[in-house]
Amino acid sequence: MLRKYRLQLAFRVVTAAATVWVLLADRAAFQVLLGGGFWQRLSPLHLLWFLWMGDMVLQLIPTRQIVALGSQKQFQRWYRPIPDWDAAALEAYVRKSDRGARKVLVSWVAMTIALGVLRSTEVFGTEELFLSAVFFYVSDLICVVVWCPFRTFLMKNRCCTTCRIFNWDHLMMFVPFLFIPGFYGWTLLGMAIVVVVVWEVQWHRHPERFWEGSNQALRCANCTDRLCGR
């Protein structure tokens, strides 16, 4: 899985470079982002739309061939219960994890406000906002493969496999589309919200699936993803 994610990171870097090239070579391609422009002409940006939408669909399906356990642990299929797990310890874990998640939420709301200010003052236009989303797209896998500031400074979790907010990634990526009114960005943002709602419902209904103290699959000894590199 680590090898797959490294290859995906390389692909995302190439995608970011290609997006900049499209901006320089054919600025009109970005018109598909506005209103119903999605249906009016073909653009290389359509490829990204389908890729991003497909990534989110995979997060809603219990599959381990492509998606890491950190994203899939919400499903009953991957839950390996530990006998006699400590309910009080699970409650403490939930409280700690929720505190970390709230810190991340506050930081991303601040980022969203900053993007809104840049948009309202016309420092950022449609193209810059789209490039911001692509930048977050690359940064998402940097957090998985290289180093994650959210884990280090806010969440304090052990690794990606145990991450409380693993499936928040696309919603955080697509925040810039909030300021680009159109089918392209708002459908991606809407699907990202669906993914997070499903994740949060599972978290609150079945927190035992998310904690290594009650789910053997999340323990280091049983890890098959090795995203930490060890």
pLDDT tens digits, 118-148: 999 999 999 999 999 999 999 999 999 999 9
pLDDT band of residue 65 (cuts 50, 70, 90) is confident
- pLDDT value, residue 64: 84
Q: Are 56 and 191 in contact (CB under 8 A)?
A: yes
For residue 61, name the pLDDT band (cuts at 50, 70, 90): very high
207-229 pLDDT tens trace: 999 999 999 999 999 998 989 87
pTM given for the model = 0.96
Average confidence (pLDDT) over 190-203: 98
Mean pLDDT over 53-72 rounds to 94
Q: What mean pLDDT is reported for the chain?
A: 96
% of the chain at pLDDT higher than 90: 96
Confidence of residue 108 (pLDDT cuts 50, 70, 90): very high
